[in-house]
Amino acid sequence: MAAPENQNKNQLQIQLRPEVADGKYSNLAMIGHGPNEFLIDFIFAAPGMPQAPVVGRIIMSPENAKQLMFALTDNVKKYEAQFGEIQPRGGKNPGIGNN
């Protein structure tokens, strides 16, 4: 019976602070990278507005960026299996920029 105790000790407790819980809407992402990190800026671009604010910035290691890529790929496949294929609007990768 030692396994369940060890399992509980190794579980990561995730905290969602109230100021983060509401989330931020983003319809554009800019991605840059250097040798040691990936930088992802999440942006809200409103129609007809000349400026688009960054609503969040995430900096992660290359290893974590690749894990995020795998997780997003897996979740998009699950989403499409349930709701149908996501059809991109207006180009190959609209809403995603690479620096």
Residues 5-48 have pLDDT tens digits of: 556 678 999 999 999 999 999 999 999 999 999 999 999 999 99
Contacts of 67 (CB under 8 A, 6+ apart): none
Rounded to 10 degrees, the C-alpha dihedral 20/24/29/33 comes to -10
- More confidently predicted of 89 and 18: 18
Percent of the chain, pLDDT > 90?
Answer: 77
pLDDT of residue 88: 87
Average pLDDT of the residues of the chain: 88
Q: Is the pLDDT of residue 3 over 90?
A: no
User: Which of these, 87, 85, 72, lies nearest to 31 by C-alpha position?
Assistant: 72
Is 7 buried (19+), middle (13-18) or exposed (0-12) by CB count in 10 A? exposed
